[in-house]
Structure 1
Amino acid sequence: MPAMDFRCLRCLCLAMCVADGLAPPRWQRLATGAIQPSGWLKTQMQLQAAALTSHLPLFWDNVQNTSWLGGNADNVGGIHESTPYWLNGAVPLAVQLQDEALLRTVEKYMDGILDRQTQEGWLGPDTDRSDFWSRYPFLMAMVQHHEALRPGARRKRIEEAALRFFAAVRQRLQGGVPLTSWSSFRAHDLIWTIHYFLDALQGSAASTTLQDLAALAEHLHSHGFDWNGLWFNSSNFAKEAVIKTSMETHGVNNAQAVKHGIVWARQSGNATEGWAETWLAWEQLQRYHGQPHGAFGADEHLAGRTPSRGTELCVVVESMWSLALASQLAPGDEEAVLALDALESLAFNALPGSLSEDLWSHPYLQFANSYQAVSNEPDHVWANDGPQAAMYGLAPNYECCTANFHQGYPKFAGSLFFEDGKQQELVSALWAPSVVNATVGLAHVELRTSYPFNTSVEYWIQNEKPFTLKIRLPKFLRTVTPAPVTVLLDGHSVKAEAVSGFLRLPIPVAARRLAVKISFAMAPSVNGYPDQGVSVYFGPLLLALDLREQRQLVQRYAFNAADWNTTATLPWRLAMPPSPHLGTPRFVAPGPRPMASNNCPVTLEATLLAVPSSAWPVRHGAPGPVNGTCRGGEQVQRTFIPYACTSIRVSALPLAGGEPVLV
């Protein structure tokens, strides 16, 4: 393999120092498949697998007739991203569920694409020699496939294909092909995959090969867009909804760029600096564009904080992946919990809130406040997308989200636990029902819970060696000192204090299964900002008005795929009284469709105040801005349900008189 020659002393020095390995992450990711969903999460992921994830190859041209396998589809403007996007989620979903049919499908696609690798080493169609970007999600699919395989010929084939592709990228860059457009702004997705193979090949590849990989990563970093210097840490950063758009104002680019600093920190060796860059990026996006559901406003481009401006589904899943990496690679627990808080909010609110309850359809844009999601809205509140962007359907507005949403739940499930081999700690990073087979303690751990739809979690543990179970407490529990939690070890009360957001429980080797139970309190709260009114939260869940939505078929495709108009049958103009009157939340077990609006796991009755249309007018087919306070009318009893269970909703309400409730 030819050595690189970027004529850069920094590149050469860096390559030499990294040849012996990158700076190790503080926590290690568990291999794809080591964590499997259970409970409501498994049900939700099985719905996804049975719906579009498994059916796109059967009828959707961009995957069924993909240019990656010699077809003539999946080529929009010279970009071939749909099949790689789909595989980036379908591969881990198939492995985590052990779905044999889906496994056969993804292996057929993975093998078929590798079979077509060129002599040069290029992967996929080659209509534009500078289109490096379309390969990035496919390389991430390769990583997850590689993790899930046992050592052997198939795993070796992926390693060799990756090295040949990286060599082809180097040759093109050396030959003067520029790193432009999407390839530049998203370069750290490819850098992450290079770092994965640097780790995987330590001890088995020649030192010159490792140096070449490190130098390639350096070139991508130095020639890619400088997100910190030119955007997030610059006066250029957009502090309101943008009018003049550019690549740096693009919502999905910003979501992917959150990982920029922390990913590069493994090669720079400065985790503190890398974290600072990453967290500044997320804080800037939240401060000026944050929405109640945890994502940021980006109806194609950054859209400010108005609750009726939209957020693209791709923004949600790419933000989740950036935050998962930020938590894993953070320099300390204090930093990691911040990223995990943000990830939890997205996973329990914005992700399911942008998917239909059967996972056969989605909108391009979701809205914190909306009373309809219909086709052909020529007068719409969003600025940068077409009239179909709010409609739930197969591929409304643009096909990227249809291909890309599949990674949301699988990568979330893969981030529920991490390991710290040095400290012999199994890190329970996020609560959701799951089963993990860990190397630390040689432990098999079942996390039994319906959280966030109940108030306890149980760990059932079988282990061959002692280890420490390190449990993150969610943000709503950390705001009270001491944390209002009860910990039982095999039925006996244990004193456990949270340090830097985590409980630590020494787990001995037991002759039988060991049980850890954590019980806690959750109460509804009302929080808000002057420019967004107030929102109701229950633990990590954002609640929204139940508008008793109804659907009307617009167009049917193959199988159960369809486009739908969704409208409200209950009034949406309601305000929160100055002294909120909230009832006691009611729980039911999550059902066969955990996020169904007519059978929600959580409901909350509240006394609200009717608002006249003059006080809260419609603007461009959507609720107008929520400007803090308004004049309220008669009392109305209404139901709040999780934002996750709604397709249309009002989740940011004006406050009737008084001062806005501030967080």
Structure 2
Amino acid sequence: MSWLLTLLGFMVAASATAPHSLVQERWQRLPLGAIRPKGWLLTQMTLQSKALTSHLPLFWPNIANTSWLGGFADVDGGIHENTPYWLNGAVPLAVQVEDEELMKTVEQYFEGIFTRQGSDGWLGPDTDRSDFWSRIPFMLALAQYHESLPEGHQRSRCASVAHRFFTAVGQRLEEGVQLGSWSSMRAHDLIWSIHYFAALLPANSSFAHWLLDLAKRLHEAAFQWNEQWFNSSAFATAPVILDSLKTHGVNNAQAVKHGVVWARQSGEVQQGFAESWLAWSQLQRFHGQPHGAFSADEHLAGTNPSRGTELCAVVEAMWSLLLTAQLAPNDRSAVKPLDALEVLAYNALPGSLSEDLWSHPYLQLANSYQALSHEVDHVWTHDGPDSAMYGLAPNYPCCTSNFHQGYPKFAANLFFESPETKEIISALWAPSLARFSHLGAQIELKTDYPFNAGVEYWIQNEEPFQLTIRLPPFLRDDPSAAASLRVTLEGRTVNRTVVDGFLRVQVTSKAERPRLAVRLDFALEPRVSRSSEGSTVHVGPLLMALDLAEERKEVRRHAFEAADWDTFTRKSWQVALPETPRFGDVRHRSFDLPPLPHDAARCPLALEAELVGVRWPAEHQAPAAPPEALVPGQAARSNRSLG
């Protein structure tokens, strides 16, 4: 135990310069497991838990034979990130869908990693002393696992493992070990986990003081994203040719949280939010895509919708936006990242996954008419020829292990609470059940949104509270949609005044059993947006895609249901909306047949549109920039399905 005595002496000495002060988040997260998916979201997440998430440990070497458990895999690029990535998503997924088998597997991995923790506290294979990065997603997984556990031995053990690891990090920094390249770019994910465990300690704890000093040293040693990139003339405003870690898409997605995470410790909440929102605004302004993400095929690639976006960048951006909203200084600020997150979650995320959750493309393209293996002539510039195909691990393996966090972290943050003001915040709409122990309340959100209109809050509560409901942008900004909104409280129509993006309802009645307390009815109508990159059609938050009559051909079969696929289309993509768009009725279908199908013939929401054939050339096996004016092609006006 000599290492512990030595490091404790170092901690006490360091604590004199590090006051224990973390700003309390304006909105508090509910503990993992307090929000459970229901309806279509439960169907989708259960499907995920029974597909790759539970099967990767059975056959994929990077998880099944991981170096974290003494194996020889998971060493791509000299780092060991795949098993930590997988745990970062498998933990919340297993908890939320109550998958006991998946949780047993997860706990076996934790047990194996715990027992292999080094005598100095280091976690995982120690092949590069500056490789802090590989440990960072593991610490995020550990924080979630700890949060889901009841008080007891295993929960205390998780905290002990974390504390020992943090001491090892501090010792290495004291020895002059520098943050490696990836570690420097992504250090604030580690700072988030330090803050999580520090907040659990008494305010006068010397170790809590030391942890915040450690976070400060990491912050100062890390790449300063605001000053050196997002708020700098160096920021890439065009597709990247000369790439670096600054231009890397996933690094940028993770860096969005940089400002708000550090603001918890600096106390500069307004500044921290401004930095994070500037980061997202810059990415959207110069690289934004119709599905809500930004282009990054592997590096920032401009606004051309035929360029790709890596799946890792999608799920990391979702997590960054959730933290940005939670740590925003006020409602007016918080609504902006929530708006951005909703578009990502309902477009970019499902657009990056197969309908059965057994495969994915490394890159998704907003404009694409094929997804093939061995595309030697391709529009993206920094990734390999298999990047657009659906498969087990096209291009790099990171997305295969990292995509698992997308739906679970989204579901875990549908609601927040503010016990001091007796307020419950409904941040995002998806079918779910949330329990609020501080307020003695339970809310089931019954809805088929975003595929159908109508949201019901079935509430059981011991005392009155304020329900603060974020309204999506189309219900705030579109006059006809806003006019369709009808709000009923305890069966009575009430005022629908919206302030800073939120509708506030006072739930004054109490009930021992759930009752329909609040209901919102509204219309879902198509909306058209035009830009120099072309036209997009939205219904609610959903980006509509043209029915191209897709066909799949199996390229390679892996274990279980995992396979690689080429995808072709049988209908022409060379069409455009006429100057005056004409749409049929929005068609809604039931959810009787899981999984939610992607093909237009069975998708839950579809729309007929009149389209015009145009002369639209292809470049590098993808649609070129759209013609400035509609030049009629061979196809006449016709109705086509959007879904």
Question: CA separation of 1:186/1:483 partners in 2, compared to 1, >3 Å: closer, same or farther?
Answer: farther
Map residues 92-103 of structure 1 onto 2, 5 A cutoff: 92-103=92-103
8 Å CA contact 1:14–1:214 kept in 2: the answer is no
The answer to whether the aligner puts 1:506 opposite 2:509 as a matched pair is: no
Q: Indicate the residue corresponding to 2:268 in structure 1.
A: 270
Q: Indicate the residue corresponding to 1:213 in structure 2.
A: 211
8 Å CA contact 1:371–1:572 kept in 2: the answer is yes
* CA offset digits 1:509-542 (Å, max 9, x no partner): 1354331111112210110211x11100111000
**2:596 paired residue among 587, 594, 602:** 594
- CA–CA separation in structure 2 for the residues paired with 1:328 and 1:4: 36
- CA–CA separation in structure 2 for the residues paired with 1:574 and 1:398: 34
| Aligned residues with identical type, % of pairs | 59
Once the 2 structures are TM-superposed, how far is the Cα of residue 215 of structure 1 from its aligned partner? 0.6
8 Å CA contact 1:4–1:170 kept in 2: the answer is no
Q: Indicate the residue corresponding to 1:236 in structure 2.
A: 234
**2:607 paired residue among 604, 608, 612:** 604
8 Å CA contact 1:121–1:168 kept in 2: the answer is yes
Once the 2 structures are TM-superposed, how far is the Cα of residue 4 of structure 1 from its aligned partner? 8.4
- CA–CA separation in structure 2 for the residues paired with 1:7 and 1:583: 70
Moved more, 207-216 or 505-514: 505-514
The answer to whether the aligner puts 1:420 opposite 2:418 as a matched pair is: yes
Moved more, 406-415 or 627-636: 627-636
Q: Indicate the residue corresponding to 1:316 in structure 2.
A: 314
Alignment-mate amino acid for residue 112 of structure 1: G
Q: Indicate the residue corresponding to 2:623 in structure 1.
A: 623
8 Å CA contact 1:3–1:208 kept in 2: the answer is no
Q: Indicate the residue corresponding to 2:573 in structure 1.
A: 572
SS in 2 for 1:54: helix
Once the 2 structures are TM-superposed, how far is the Cα of residue 202 of structure 1 from its aligned partner? 2.8
The answer to whether the aligner puts 1:635 opposite 2:637 as a matched pair is: yes
The answer to whether the aligner puts 1:133 opposite 2:133 as a matched pair is: yes
Once the 2 structures are TM-superposed, how far is the Cα of residue 180 of structure 1 from its aligned partner? 2.3
- CA–CA separation in structure 1 for the residues paired with 2:116 and 2:626: 54
Moved more, 116-125 or 460-469: 460-469
Map residues 180-579 of structure 1 onto 2, 5 A cutoff: 180-202=180-202, 207-480=205-478, 484-507=484-507, 508-515=509-516, 516-530=518-532, 532-579=533-580
SS in 2 for 1:190: helix
SS in 1 for 2:395: coil
Once the 2 structures are TM-superposed, how far is the Cα of residue 501 of structure 1 from its aligned partner? 1.0
Question: CA separation of 1:235/1:180 partners in 2, compared to 1, >3 Å: closer, same or farther?
Answer: same
8 Å CA contact 2:442–2:461 kept in 1: the answer is yes
Map residues 110-121 of structure 1 onto 2, 5 A cutoff: 110-121=110-121
Alignment-mate amino acid for residue 490 of structure 1: E
* CA offset digits 1:51-71 (Å, max 9, x no partner): 000000000000000000010
SS in 1 for 2:337: helix
Q: Indicate the residue corresponding to 1:154 in structure 2.
A: 154
- CA–CA separation in structure 1 for the residues paired with 2:226 and 2:628: 33
- CA–CA separation in structure 2 for the residues paired with 1:486 and 1:385: 48
Q: Indicate the residue corresponding to 1:661 in structure 2.
A: none
Question: CA separation of 1:251/1:586 partners in 2, compared to 1, >3 Å: closer, same or farther?
Answer: same
* CA offset digits 1:246-290 (Å, max 9, x no partner): 000000000000000011000000110000000000000000000
- CA–CA separation in structure 2 for the residues paired with 1:344 and 1:256: 17
- CA–CA separation in structure 2 for the residues paired with 1:408 and 1:550: 27
Q: Tell me the TM-score normalised to structure 2 length.
A: 0.96
Alignment-mate amino acid for residue 435 of structure 1: L
- CA–CA separation in structure 2 for the residues paired with 1:540 and 1:533: 18
* CA offset digits 1:554-573 (Å, max 9, x no partner): 00000000000001011110
Moved more, 252-261 or 436-445: 436-445
- CA–CA separation in structure 1 for the residues paired with 2:412 and 2:483: 27
8 Å CA contact 1:428–1:470 kept in 2: the answer is yes
Moved more, 490-499 or 374-383: 490-499
* CA offset digits 1:450-509 (Å, max 9, x no partner): 000111000111111221111110111111466642111232212231111111112231
Question: CA separation of 1:219/1:604 partners in 2, compared to 1, >3 Å: closer, same or farther?
Answer: same
Moved more, 137-146 or 481-490: 481-490
Q: Indicate the residue corresponding to 1:84 in structure 2.
A: 84
- CA–CA separation in structure 2 for the residues paired with 1:26 and 1:406: 28
- CA–CA separation in structure 1 for the residues paired with 2:319 and 2:205: 31
Once the 2 structures are TM-superposed, how far is the Cα of residue 595 of structure 1 from its aligned partner? 3.9
SS in 1 for 2:585: coil
Alignment-mate amino acid for residue 179 of structure 1: L
8 Å CA contact 2:12–2:206 kept in 1: the answer is no
Once the 2 structures are TM-superposed, how far is the Cα of residue 632 of structure 1 from its aligned partner? 2.7
Question: CA separation of 1:621/1:197 partners in 2, compared to 1, >3 Å: closer, same or farther?
Answer: same
Question: CA separation of 1:623/1:13 partners in 2, compared to 1, >3 Å: closer, same or farther?
Answer: farther
Question: CA separation of 1:414/1:381 partners in 2, compared to 1, >3 Å: closer, same or farther?
Answer: same
* CA offset digits 1:370-419 (Å, max 9, x no partner): 01000001111000000000010000001000000000000000110011
Show structure 2 runs of 5+ residues with no match: none
- CA–CA separation in structure 1 for the residues paired with 2:276 and 2:483: 28
Q: Indicate the residue corresponding to 2:69 in structure 1.
A: 69
SS in 2 for 1:607: strand
Alignment-mate amino acid for residue 611 of structure 1: V
Moved more, 139-148 or 500-509: 500-509
8 Å CA contact 1:555–1:563 kept in 2: the answer is yes
What CA RMSD, in Å, does the superposition of the two structures yield over aligned residues? 1.6
Alignment-mate amino acid for residue 505 of structure 1: V
SS in 2 for 1:218: helix
- CA–CA separation in structure 1 for the residues paired with 2:299 and 2:49: 30
Q: Indicate the residue corresponding to 1:645 in structure 2.
A: none
8 Å CA contact 1:306–1:626 kept in 2: the answer is no
- CA–CA separation in structure 1 for the residues paired with 2:397 and 2:602: 30
